[in-house]
Chains A and B, each alone.
Chain A
Amino acid sequence: QMQLVQSGAEVKKTGSSVKVSCKASGYTFTYRYLHWVRQAPGQALEWMGWITPFNGNTNYAQKFQDRVTITRDRSMSTAYMELSSLRSEDTAMYYCARWNTATGAFDIWGQGTMVTVSS
């Protein structure tokens, strides 16, 4: 079945970086945009950016423009989200989600990766 499987929870120090992976299976990885969405504890969903797995093009939310990098490895059907200069406010669950252009919605979500930032 189609699924996205993310890497495990991370605990990071303030000022460091974190890299989260998202492995796709059950569909052709290069055919669908892959997005990253985060959710701070008890808060709403917040879109961070996307990547086109086919050619690696990216687009980031202005809020994260200077700190986020989304990449992919086509051979591994895996996308990555790296967030740098971490601060306590970055403590959140990070999700990858597949954008289905046919439906215009996020139709498959990863299970989430909890990133905790502390000093």
Chain B
Amino acid sequence: EIVLTQSPGTLSLSPGERATLSCRASQSVSSSYLAWYQQKPGQAPRLLIYGASSRATGIPDRFSGSGSGTDFTLTISRLEPEDFAVYYCQQYGSLFTFGPGTKVDIK
């Protein structure tokens, strides 16, 4: 089973700042099957990025994804108030696994 590790656990930033979230896999992941989700309190997760770098429908271009192999990054170029949430990476190899999440909160 591929284990995903996310860092940092919590990221405290101010609106307008840049957020850089990391997702590291215990073994190589196909870029085609690396996704990022946003989850706000009391809500279901929402797909942000698929295929490591493609934005899902309706996702603003301040969100971008990059990476390959075992190291992937989600970047939010300028944080808006609605971006403060928990972010999960997820991979599909032979099975599906999620990372533990990174909470982006207001500094």
Task: Tell me whether A61 and B56 are in contact in the complex, defined as CB-CB below 8 angstroms, given that A104-B32, A105-B35 are known contacts.
Answer: no
| Residues of A37-78 contacting chain B, CB below 8 A | 37, 44-47, 61
Number of B residues contacting the other chain (C-beta, 8 Å)?
22
SS of B interface (majority): strand
Please determine whether A35 and B92 come into contact, CB atoms closer than 8 angstroms. no
SS of A interface (majority): strand
Please determine whether B88 and A45 come into contact, CB atoms closer than 8 angstroms. yes
- Which bracket fits the contact residues of A? 10 to 19
Please determine whether B88 and A106 come into contact, CB atoms closer than 8 angstroms. no
CB distance from A1 to the nearest CB of B (A): 12
CB distance from B105 to the nearest CB of A (A): 14
Stretch at the interface among B13-21, B42-50, B67-75, B76-84: B42-50
Stretch at the interface among A10-18, A24-32, A81-89, A108-116: A108-116
